[in-house]
Amino acid sequence: MNILLIDDHALFRIGLTELLERRDIKVIAAHGDCNDGMAEVQQRQPDVVLLDMRMPQMTGIEVLRELRQRGQTMPICMLTTSRDESDVINSLQSGAQGYLLKDMEPDELIEALQRIVEGETVVAPELTAVLARAVKGEPAEAVPKTIADLTPREREILCHLAAGQSNKVIAKELGISDGTVKLHVKAILRKLDVHSRVEAAVIAVEQNICQRIVQD
């Protein structure tokens, strides 16, 4: 996996580069200048672009929009300290395929980047509820049939997803392996006809599935 980082904080660029490269993830460039970063994105074509949200020249969202206008289609992910609901929504609406937080555990960050490269849209677990609240007022497609197709265990895991828990946390709480959780998550996504954990979590919140399970 080749990553290009655009972030105006030099110490963070250096630290993240070292962390990723220790995990065999190559950082092909790390820029503090937005224009230089965008030029190198076009030249180097990384697998993923990581953007800070708050930068002096341009915001991360402005860089994201500019890259999309230039025809860049690779996954672009915000990596920020901002938990602001509008930042999350604006980033995803502008074409980001991820919104991650700088205080994530390294293993969670690596897993999220791998999922983004595989085509998922990934939001930091802590922000799943924020995203669900933001879209809850929008009309949703009818899903009772697909929800009904879930097994009791899949519904249970879906509720853990809605709570923003990672596979490792779910596995620990349910006393099963990470691999088993991953298989269940894949089945959930297939049955709900969605492409990411975030979309599945939003459905769970909108349909009030977890509260109904508790009442049952």
Mean pLDDT calculated for residue range 186-206: 82
Calculate the alpha carbon distances from 184 to 78, 188, 200 in Å.
27, 6, 12
Q: Which residue has the higher pLDDT, 6 or 211?
A: 6
Band of residue 191 on the pLDDT scale cut at 50, 70, 90:
confident
Cβ neighbours, 10 Å, residue 146? 17
Q: What percent of the chain has pLDDT over 90?
A: 32
* Average pLDDT of the segment spanning 18-29: 91
When pLDDT is cut at 50, 70 and 90, the band that residue 134 belongs to is low
- Give me the sign of the Cα torsion angle 70, 75, 81, 84: positive
Question: Measured over all CA atoms, what is the biggest interatomic distance in the chain, rounded to whole angstroms?
Answer: 57
Q: Write out the two tokens for 59.
A: 């915001």
| Mean pLDDT on 148-173 | 87
Q: Is 70 exposed, middle or buried (0-12, 13-18, 19+ CB in 10 A)?
A: exposed
Given a contact cutoff of 8 angstroms between Cβ atoms, the answer to whether 166 and 124 are in contact is: no
pLDDT digits (tens, 9 = 90+) for 49-90: 999 998 888 889 999 999 999 999 899 999 998 888 888 888
Task: Name which of 40-49, 87-96, 140-149, 155-164 the model is least confident about.
Answer: 140-149
Domain 2-123 has CATH 3.40.50.11610: no
pLDDT at 213 over 80: no
Residue 96 · residue 76 · CB < 8 Å = yes
Closest among 141, 159, 142 to 150, alpha carbons compared: 159
Q: Highest-confidence range of 95-109, 114-128, 140-154, by mean pLDDT? A: 95-109
* pLDDT above 60 for 25: yes
pLDDT for 131:
66
Record the pTM.
Answer: 0.62
Residue 85, pLDDT score? 80
Q: Point out the least confidently predicted range of 41-45, 69-73, 145-149, 193-197.
A: 145-149
**Cα 192 from Cα 147, distance rounded (Å):** 7
Mean pLDDT in residue range 24-41: 92
Domain layout of the chain by residue ranges: 2-123, 133-215
Tell me the one-letter amino acid at 157: I
The pLDDT score that the predictor gives to residue 146 is 64
Share of the chain above pLDDT 70, in %: 89
pLDDT given at position 211:
63
pLDDT of residue 181 exceeding 80, the answer is yes
Give the CATH class of 133-215: mainly alpha
Helix (H, G, I), strand (E, B) or coil at 101: strand
All residues at 6 or more sequence positions from 198 whose CB lies less than 8 Å from its CB, including other chains:
121, 122, 123, 128, 131
